Amino acid sequence: MPTRSELVVWRSFLRAHARLTRILEAELIAEQRLSLAAYDVLIQLAEAAQYRLRMTELADAVLLSRSGVTRLVDRLERSGLVLRERADGDGRGVVAVLTQQGMERLRTASGTHLAGVARHFADALEPPDLEAFGRSCDRLADGP
């Protein structure tokens, strides 16, 4: 059972995460007409080998449900930012592939997003606090 002070820190973390994602999403939508989830999909594909990921891998990478990723990729495909292909050697598997238009859109949106991350996150923390926070997040992400 967490202590009262542990719960206070937990709630503070949740409030900070919610605030930052709301702000970053609002900026991306206002300036780029792109949701934070769509930006995340484009980033994951841009960083993947040959700019492609199986839909299941993409869902795990962006922490959306498989159906949520499918609907998002549908919208990105209609916009010409992503396309789908059959996975090599697997008639049932489907991969999402970043298009050239998607890469260009990502480059433009990255300016907005990275400026927001600097302004609302990195600039709010002193370097030692940022390093300690990073180590803490790594421990939480890696698990026990």
Structural domains of the chain, with CATH: 4-137 (1.10.10.10)
Check residue 19 and give its pLDDT: 97
Check residue 144 and give its pLDDT: 76
- What percentage of the chain's residues is helix, strand, coil (to nearest 5)? 75, 10, 20
Q: Which of 48, 49, 43 is nearest to 76 (CA)?
A: 43
The neighbour count for residue 41, using CB atoms within 10 Å, is 29
Contact in structure between 24 and 120 (CB atoms under 8 Å): yes
Check residue 92 and give its pLDDT: 74
Check residue 88 and give its pLDDT: 74
Contact in structure between 58 and 139 (CB atoms under 8 Å): no
Give the strand order in the sheet containing 82-86. Answer: 52-54, 94-98, 82-86
User: Is this structure's pTM higher than 0.85?
Assistant: yes
Check residue 64 and give its pLDDT: 78
Q: Which positions of the chain have pLDDT values less than 70?
A: 89-91
- Which residues are CB-neighbours of 116 under 8 A, at least 6 positions away? 23, 24, 27, 28
